[in-house]
Amino acid sequence: MKNTFLIDEPKILLTDNFRQCKETLTASRVKYRQITEDYIAFPAKLFGADTDLMVGLHGGSSKWLEFIEIFRPKEYYEVPGNDAWKSFGELSGILRRKYGPPASSGTSGMSHFDTEQWPFEKWETEEYTIDHYLMDRFGVGEYLKIHFKVRYL
């Protein structure tokens, strides 16, 4: 099957069809939050790690899944010492164990006005790209996004 992404826990297979993802979650009795019409989120474990994460599915204006967003539950940041930098290091290690070294990595400013350098990593699989980076948008935040490469009709 093309364009799939496996969630370890709950054990489900996501596809690039947003409506189908919602149906899979419902049929599997996964409790998810409908944030907006085109965005849902649910707790999960991924990448072969016993780490609590959240999965956000961004549906966009069509039936297609725009991207899968992975982020920490808010409780992670309530623990003293936990921040975006620490999380980036932890998730980077998990991704490297699962996929090997990133296809590209380094640091980059958000714009030519930005003097701060932010780490980024990118992994490529046959079906999807994983982008993992830090950025200061409204305070330093970690971003981990999965984009399917090709859409199959």
pLDDT surpassing 80 at residue 1: no
Q: Is the pLDDT of residue 4 over 70?
A: yes
pTM of the model: 0.88
What's the token pair of residue 20?
A: 């189908």
Cα–Cα distances in Å, from 116 out to 37, 81, 83, 119, 140?
Answer: 35, 22, 17, 10, 11
67-71, 99-103, 149-153, range with the lowest pLDDT = 149-153
Is residue 152 pLDDT above 60, yes or no?
no
pLDDT at 2 (0 to 100): 76
Average pLDDT value for residue range 11-19: 93
Question: Which tens digits make up the pLDDT trace of 90-143?
Answer: 999 999 999 999 999 888 765 445 556 788 999 999 999 999 998 877 778 899
H or E element in which residue 21 lies? helix 18-27
Three-state DSSP class for residue 9: strand
